[in-house]
Structure 1
């Protein structure tokens, strides 16, 4: 196992440790006397307070509230948007994934074709998906054309109105990743013995009774793993809202990952490392809760 562990330590361990080390250092500052950038020294929790408490370092070296326009002021709105996206998309994808998995698990002519068609959205790259839905949600796009034909007074500003922009991102994300949920749930459905359904039918159990007493309890492990994977993926959402709506940190669909990229583009690698560490802690906490208390175990105990 040593070679595999060594590769993981280099590829995963070193970047995490390096990011944590950078998060405790101050960003590079321009020395007014020499005109040269000076590497930041040990800053303690300064970078974390910058995000969590919107605390900025003034020119005199004092800590005060960040003025409007500083990227740190977008932190808590981005946290709320990220959690909102994660909760709504995962809930919708779970419901749709169960429905699609039940359909694909059935026995009918053309089942293989249906399975392939359902999985196509998941196979499309995220950037292509974002561009596809961006064209569809354009002011003169297909979606507005259909809504106007159905009696809507005027086209909807899907990419500029905050509420509709978030709805557009949710629709696109659910369309793309619900098949992934369906694939994992389908694997769990295929592990359920058919004899159980036959015995329940003989005992007089209807479709809904069989679903609630046989299907849901036995597919629960696979369902929880699917929810775990999708929740962790949704918490680090980046490319879909950036390509569809805007890459700006104050966009109505800005997520935490967008703030990290924007901060790095401004040359603030240390504060960006602090935010990356906060995202890591958030994802770790959610994963711990799902695994420890809800029983979402990607690997079964032996």
Structure 2
């Protein structure tokens, strides 16, 4: 009977001891939490000023209109007036709806096309730069040049190349107006965008390739795996995290494309007008309410695409961190 009482009392005493240890550590943990809050607060303040405040201000501005109008009693009213969802209704169903849907289609088309081409070319460039050959350092340095050139400067360079008497027409022996409105303008924007940003994807994929042990490839080669089998079953799965991050960054950047088509082709060109260009056009016409509505819609579109990409393709880094924290907490509770 005494043995049973002692065995029943042992777990309770162990739990009490663990609880006392946690109580003794609580002042130190509180001090660490306060220090962490003090160190993080400047970053949170900056993020609030440059991220949260513009979003809230744009959302608020999208609910108002500016200018001169007539109220319900027939009096002329000037200045800012509350419009509710009127700006959004005008965007989707008003006279400018066709222009909005065209800009939405152009944005989606440019994003899908350029990101797919950049991913394919970036992986190919990374595989080439990963090989050991004479002049590899020079090749890696030269790949950075297109990405390092400012977008406006590269757009001016490609505008000269795609001119009516430029290099492209001279090589093809044609007289295509690449900077005019239409399909050639779309192709010019895609070529210039892929040329500039494919090296970014290649460098990130190259960083992922360099952490793969060579023993894995040697073992696969000894087992008789072909080059395609090694790429499909070893290289691509192991480099997938770096490739997903590169593709995600490029998607977020392409969805807000503005400067390249604006400088290369020009404004108010139906074939290359994007959501960012449409919002800029409304803002320059002092129609800040519709401009803010376009910007808010674009922000929601980018957020939805990023969330879907992260969830569907498994690049949920935040979710992995949460699971690791939960498993660590369960381990500590089990030990206690």
Give the TM-score taking structure 1 as reference length: 0.88
RMSD of the alignment, in Å? 1.8
Alignment correspondent of 2:87: 47
- The alignment status of 1:253 with 2:272, answered yes or no, reads yes
Task: Give me the whole-angstrom Cα distance separating, in 1, the residues matched to 2:317 and 2:263.
Answer: 31
Alignment correspondent of 2:131: 106
Alignment correspondent of 2:8: none
Post-superposition Cα deviations, 1:60-94, rounded to whole Å, max 9, x if no partner, equal: xxxxxx2xxxx554100111111010111001101
Aligned residues: 280
Contact 2:65 / 2:288 at 8 angstroms: preserved in 1? no
The structure with the largest helix share of the pair is 2
Alignment correspondent of 2:16: none
Task: Give me the whole-angstrom Cα distance separating, in 2, the residues matched to 1:298 and 1:266.
Answer: 42
- The alignment status of 1:273 with 2:277, answered yes or no, reads no
- Displacement of 1:298 after TM fit? 5.8
Task: Give me the whole-angstrom Cα distance separating, in 2, the residues matched to 1:75 and 1:27.
Answer: 20
Give the TM-score taking structure 2 as reference length: 0.80
- The alignment status of 1:164 with 2:184, answered yes or no, reads yes
Contact 1:90 / 1:231 at 8 angstroms: preserved in 2? yes
- Displacement of 1:192 after TM fit? 0.9
Alignment correspondent of 1:3: 42
- Displacement of 1:296 after TM fit? 2.5
Alignment correspondent of 1:264: 283
Could you say what secondary structure the match of 1:198 adopts?
helix
Contact 1:221 / 1:295 at 8 angstroms: preserved in 2? no
Alignment correspondent of 2:108: 83
- Displacement of 1:275 after TM fit? 0.9
Task: Give me the whole-angstrom Cα distance separating, in 1, the residues matched to 2:89 and 2:76.
Answer: 27
- Displacement of 1:161 after TM fit? 4.4
Alignment correspondent of 2:261: 241
Contact 1:225 / 1:297 at 8 angstroms: preserved in 2? no
Task: Give me the whole-angstrom Cα distance separating, in 2, the residues matched to 1:81 and 1:2.
Answer: 40
Contact 1:104 / 1:114 at 8 angstroms: preserved in 2? yes
Contact 2:181 / 2:270 at 8 angstroms: preserved in 1? no
Which of 11, 24, 29 is the equivalent residue of 2:68? Answer: 29
- Displacement of 1:202 after TM fit? 1.2
Alignment correspondent of 1:62: none
Contact 1:121 / 1:176 at 8 angstroms: preserved in 2? yes
Taking the TM superposition and a 5 Å limit, the aligned residue runs for 1:1-302 are: 1-29=40-68, 37-41=78-82, 43-54=83-94, 66=95, 71-148=96-173, 154-248=174-268, 250-297=269-316, 301=321, 302=324
Could you say what secondary structure the match of 2:64 adopts?
coil
- Displacement of 1:225 after TM fit? 1.0
- Displacement of 1:36 after TM fit? 7.3
- Displacement of 1:26 after TM fit? 2.3
Alignment gaps of 5+ in structure 2? 1-39, 325-336
